[in-house]
Structure 1
């Protein structure tokens, strides 16, 4: 079990929705993993499902007897692979965005609308993250863009290793955009660097305007907040100004777009930002 977020070591799978091919990313929880203790000690060990070794028990007793701050860099291995991913993107002049939200916020709907509207301007590829099914990958595939599905099993987020393997399968072209649609969760995805250029948090008006102060790390880690489903504002109790105030309270530098993927309202501002980011990337 991951001491950072509590998700299990169950196998993650990566699937190609076009061919139906699926391969396992992790072995059944037996692969070595690393814990960094507050005193700086680094311990690498494996788990087995048949029995727990005394040494592993002692290690975990020591870990769980200590208050561990999630702000500590206990993700050294993940961060190393994330740095490699970042270099991979940079070397190919690819803009990578990590899209995060709670389930049902409208990530996939916004993503499919964006791909369809900008397909003549930008080349977009997608890494889809869900615990199970390839349903969202099929929706993305219907737009004509390249997509791979990563199923995390009981895992609650994508990590850098999954993205590394996903990129091997996806093989996005030079001078393009990779959209990473993370597992629906407003907590753990913000803690894991995937090597992306930017984090984008998506919040729908059906969720409540206080989400930025309830889940501050997510909104603090994101450079962009997209407020979706604004066509539903006449039918829900949602204070847009208060939501924006809360988001800016947590992150004064966050940039906010208000959109409806259904009606198209506000999408021109999101598209202008996205195309300008790609253009600026080409200049660097």
Structure 2
């Protein structure tokens, strides 16, 4: 019975996601779903990314959290258009579903955007299961997490288009095998592009920025 319920939930979500996808196509905006576990540095990556992309690329962000507006407040400082979704009012869901995205996207005004980033709720399980109508998915793993995360949560790493290994500035101080972490990602997703970077020092940041710019241009022609 639980399997049937889950199947119905995902089918309903996929229908909503298809509606979102048509809307985003009509609005000519590239949509990127950013996912990670809590504490990976995802928000800091986005703060640095927005600062470097704008104003050439017009960016809006939908921030998902169970509670608080902490991440949204940080992102607003960049000057980007930002809106918040808190899921505590819906029972504390650990992911953003497709039906929550469309209202927030309309609130931001997608006609004025080239890039819409969805900062999903920190979780390496549920967000990977829910299509929100995005064009691409990214996952952030940090060197303060286990190298075996891709093997423990394979669906997340299979479901994304690119991965970021963040906080590489800490490698000299940690007993962490970055090569093994990347190998584990590629064991799950053999051709997955992996960007090794530090959001703090911006080491390795340029390949990630170029990837984003290319994807935005491919869809919008801008």
TM over 0.5: yes
Whole-angstrom CA distance in 1 between matches of 2:101 and 2:79:
21
Q: Equivalent of 1:134, from 63, 69, 72? A: 69
Q: Quote how far apart the aligned CAs of 1:121 are.
A: 2.2
Aligned to 2:185: 247
Q: Quote how far apart the aligned CAs of 1:282 are.
A: 2.8
Q: Quote how far apart the aligned CAs of 1:75 are.
A: 1.3
Aligned to 1:107: 42
1:247/1:168 CA distance change after superposition, 3 Å: same
Identify which of structures 1 and 2 has the higher relative contact order when contacts are C-alpha pairs closer than 8 Å and 6+ apart: 2
RMSD across aligned positions (CA): 1.7
The normalised TM-score by structure 2 is 0.94
| 2:59 is equivalent to residue 124 of structure 1 | yes
Aligned to 1:84: 19
Aligned to 1:276: 214
Q: Quote how far apart the aligned CAs of 1:69 are.
A: 10
Paired residues in the alignment total 219
In the TM superposition, structure 1's runs of 4+ consecutive aligned residues that sit over 2 Å from their partners are: 67-70, 172-175
Q: Quote how far apart the aligned CAs of 1:238 are.
A: 1.4
SS in 2 for 1:158: coil
Q: Which runs of 5+ in 2 are unaligned?
A: none
SS in 2 for 1:132: coil
Aligned to 1:16: none
Whole-angstrom CA distance in 2 between matches of 1:73 and 1:225:
30
1:116/1:283 CA distance change after superposition, 3 Å: closer
Q: Equivalent of 1:171, from 72, 87, 109? A: 109
Q: Do 2:28 and 2:111's aligned partners in 1 also have CA atoms closer than 8 Å?
A: no
More helix by share: 2
Whole-angstrom CA distance in 2 between matches of 1:283 and 1:114:
20
| 2:158 is equivalent to residue 220 of structure 1 | yes
The normalised TM-score by structure 1 is 0.74
Q: Do 2:62 and 2:83's aligned partners in 1 also have CA atoms closer than 8 Å?
A: yes
Q: Do 2:151 and 2:188's aligned partners in 1 also have CA atoms closer than 8 Å?
A: yes
Whole-angstrom CA distance in 1 between matches of 2:113 and 2:44:
24
